[in-house]
Chain A
Amino acid sequence: MSNSKFSRRGVLKTGMVASAGLAVPQYLRADAHAGFTNAPSDSEVILGFNVPQTGPYADEGADELRAYELAVEHLNGGGDGGMLSTFSSKVLDGTGILGREVKYVTGDTQTKSDAARASARSMIEKDGAIMITGGSSSGVAVAVQALCQEAGIIFMAGLTHSNDTTGKDKRANGFRHFFNSYMSGAALAPILAAQYGTDRKAYHLTADYNWGYTTQEAIQSSTEAMGWETVNTVLTPLTQTDFSSYIAPVLNSGADVLVLNHYGGNMVNSLTNAVQFGLRQAEANGKQFEIVVPLYSELMARGAGQNIAGILGSQNWDWKLENQLGDRYSGTNAFVRSFGEKFGFPPSQAAHTCYVQTLLYADAVTRAGSFNPCAVVEALEGFEFDGLGNGPTLYRAEDHQCFKDVVVVRGKENPENEFDLVEIVEVTPVAQVTYAPDHPQFAGGALGSCNPGA
């Protein structure tokens, strides 16, 4: 019998607690930094670009990465400066950020939430990235945004369109420049009414995941508000490649409009199937049958080829904006020229939003005079700017969502090349797509307070 004060169980417990403490990621420990996570050295600052480099959205990720490279080049004083010369804020002077040369590391989200979190975590913990940006999916954006909030890192979202990113899943450390499902609905509805009339019956096919639900809800509510009736809504599996059995019943359903709440490969396949089944030529209820794709992507429109001809949809930005609609969209041509001369083709809207987010972050740090995430949050909240291609824009303080005009486009009947697939129908002014911060479609979450990691 032992008289020791240490029982076997006690030692094990203590050991486990100590091990767990040691295993806590470095960024969660207050003593690992001075004031905030990953404070940069005096000579350089590291940004983390988390984009899909493999998987179905790899091409979109590649375009995002091109834009990031360009942004870094311009911030460091290289190239022609791009949008630095048109940006309404004039604090960026091509000497990096607060005098530090901008360097970057990249991660591969694979468009999977767990992989995206792992790559973001690696860039934060191993590479010392002070800001994470990028992505091509709302699931990834929400997951990485939550991670950055925990880690005390700023997250500047890439392409993410679900209401939830700045709705129920919003975080104080996260910011979205890209538009959202609600804005698509609000922008499209009046144009759909003008083009197709107010007496229409819509049939929705919706991708069975978060973005699909919020997009369907947004389009459904905005079209019903102007008099359309929703005949049916059908969820389709995300892995579906052949939509024929979902498309086939549409013509006999009493509907005369098909809304495809699909993105990426889903959009390419469902739209192609719908056109193959003759929906574009069909008549229903005495009217021409129409198809609507709420969120357009130039890169994915290429996959659908001629099938996008005449189909209405919405975009965050288009490279032809300034040429066609004038100076209000200044910055567009500067960016298109920089990007086009470097890479040989015009940028996608994903590239644009990523480039702009990088500049906005750099600008906020410079205006704040600090890399401290809370100072950056303060600088970005309520920030009004112009000259970045979308016209006058507000980063709303209440939800960290950018508010700006929304572009409504239509697939071109006779595109001249693979980069000129859509034509701008109209631009919906920002006032028409603005909503209250407590709008029901965005309810359920709280921004919380910024986390500097300390």
Chain B
Amino acid sequence: MEAKISRRKFLKLSGVAAFSPFIRLGDVVSPRTKAPTPTDFGVEKRVPLRCRMCAQQCPAIGIVKDGKLIKMEANPHLPYSGICGRSRSTPAAVYNPDRLKYPLLRVGKRGEGKFKRISWEEALDRIAKVLKKYRKEAPEKVVYLPRFTSAAGIDKPFWHLYGTPNIISYADTCHSAGHDWGLGGYFGRPISPGAVWMDYPNAKFGVLAMRNPGGGLCVYQFGTFFAEGKRNGLRLVSVDVRFPNESIEGAGHRWLPIRPGTDPAFHLALAHVIVKKKGYDEAYLIEKTNACMLIDPETLEPFKAVIEEKEEKKGDKTVKKRTMRYLVWDEAQGKAVFKSQASKPALLGEFEIEGKKVITAFEAISRALERYTPQWAEKITTVPAKEIEAIAEELIKNKPQVFVDTGWYSERYANSLRQFHAIGLVNTLLGCWEKKGGIGGIPKVKLHGVLPKVKKPKRIQITKYYQKKEGYPFIIPKAGRRFVFEALRTGKPYEPKVIFAMGQNFIGGSAGSVELIKLLDKVELIVCMTPFMDESCLYADIILPDTMFPERNEALHVKFKQSFPTVAMNMKAVEPPFEARPGDWVMVELAKRVLFSEEFEKYFGDFVRGGWEYGWRKQLEGLDEKYPGITLERLKKEGVWYGKQNYKIKKKTLTHEIEIFSLTFLETYKKFKEKGYPFAEYANPLPSWAPPFWWEEKKGQLAEDEFILTTGFSPLNSFTGGQTRNNPLLREIWDQIGLDRLWIHPERAQKLGIQDGDVVEVFPAHNPEIRATARVWITPLVHPDALFTYYGVGAGVFSQLKKFLVFLPEHGVNMNHFSKLHFAPLQGGHATQDVIIKIRRA
């Protein structure tokens, strides 16, 4: 066929010649002359890293081109690998213009934010001078607060060698110890969030309360697990003050709004329904728990139980193992016998033995639960009774492939110990522990130290003092940062004189920030080491610019909240900017200046000469016998080693069973009741409701302008560190979804005459002088009694920070700034949300 060339076609063809960049040739567009390929990135190096954009260290791969970190990827050598958006935004944190570049010395008043550049030499000499003075006088007055430490494996031995027992983490502002001992009662040891995992992939139904796995996302830890659960069709109910859309958007899920701080009532009512309907796993309770234990109904003491001591060989050590043998009512024999001799132990019932009335522990629990009806709970929680019944039904029907999530960030209210005790009870009734589809225990590999072992100094640790002497038996001593400030307030047991914060933002991250800074006058030297300015740096005398994780080698890490034991590597991928230096270098430099030379040689000599190559080999020495394949070569190449999945949960109870009737709680309960301690009820081994502080104060009724300010994590931010809250790339998305806003219920907003998008002033009722501004989002996704804001957005009360962190949003509040320096009864958590907050139009 002959082509006809029309005038138009001719024009078009000539146009091709004249304007070829713009024209199609027929319908095919020629490919780009130089089609880019990934190899064009000239990817030279893929370096194993552990992400530290939040604290969880998900194994990752850093991609380095021309000496720059250009991307982060998930480590592909793991079964449930993954990293989140924060992690992927690492390059925007590493090359952030607001990074701290040089050591700084304070020149203005503390808090003023005036500093001058000094040399490392000067900074280290100044610190060493003060440390030397206190090493002679009272080394315990030096407090080391590690968080995002860049000196893991080096710092602890150094400070112990120096002579201070006060190495104290921040977990009291997170999960310690309401979560840890609330659940820990059942296992006779603290159950931290790193002790158990929810089997999301195999569960059929779950209740999310105090965890939003999508919001407080830790990917390798449980994020990929959770997503697999969702892909498998897991149904979820979330009991939350706000709609946690990260986790439960989609079909098959429900949101039940709950009044802030009343969760224990909800869980108690669940337990009530499960027991009432006999929906518990009877065989499990009899076999695996101490539910059948005969106790005295008055004193709650186990009836005629005996404690046996046995010596057991553990390696080359002999350890004493104490075991309680207790009586049960054997229905087969019609009498009380030791459990091991009973063929049919009674779960419920009241019996008479030798003229004495006894009941089973489970009978006591059932009786205690009588009053916690769903109707009772509805009045407190606002969750409808019929919803509570429906959830209980679902749990019963699908058990044991169900869970009530054991949560994470618990230290929000005074009653968190009771809350997690109640969560533990529901999970025990349903027999979820150690079951596929339920809740498993997290296994860990034990590595050797990088440096030779150093004994913990004998001097009294601040937290231990409060645990032993001041009514906080459930403190976890290594995790009680705020007691350092309590020590400043009370002078007991002594006033700390030096605070060295390694990546800890102890001001922005602790409830009562404003109260706390007033106490700092008593501290002689405050040193903050971090890559970004934060609230604490504003009050520091010396600021040391830290590296970010891709800029340093680090000790191997094993603490992953995963069902597989995991070891992971972090290797230096790029050079630190300006004069940023890693913490291990700083510790060695301080050790040189502060320790005696023979001490230094004995403990640091090999490490200084051999570097991390030596350190890593030391950590792994002899381990490949027990864990095949765990070699440094593999870790350097693949970045990770992992073992077999585990469900078993380690128990340290006296009965070696899961103690549904906790003897640990009983002991404390008795002791504190005798003393007449007002909060003794918090240690009751039986189910028991305890209100939050605010409920007591307001008799459960908030006034028109009063709220409880609640927080939750966003997958696009973490904590109060500049790496995420001052990240230009994350900020772009914050702006798109309004992440910095303060959520308020429409009816409450209307009563206060507040419009959507208004900027409001937020302040605590107990101190209206503490003020910060926030932009309001009027939304039906939040409980009327609550305000909600994502954690750590904006500068809050410390507006001076905006000068140092240019990507912070203009408005935004941090609950810690408003809260009080108060402590949750018995366990010392920071109960940050447990104060009354007011708002008014700015």
* Same complex origin of A and B: no
A: residues with CB less than 8 A from B are none
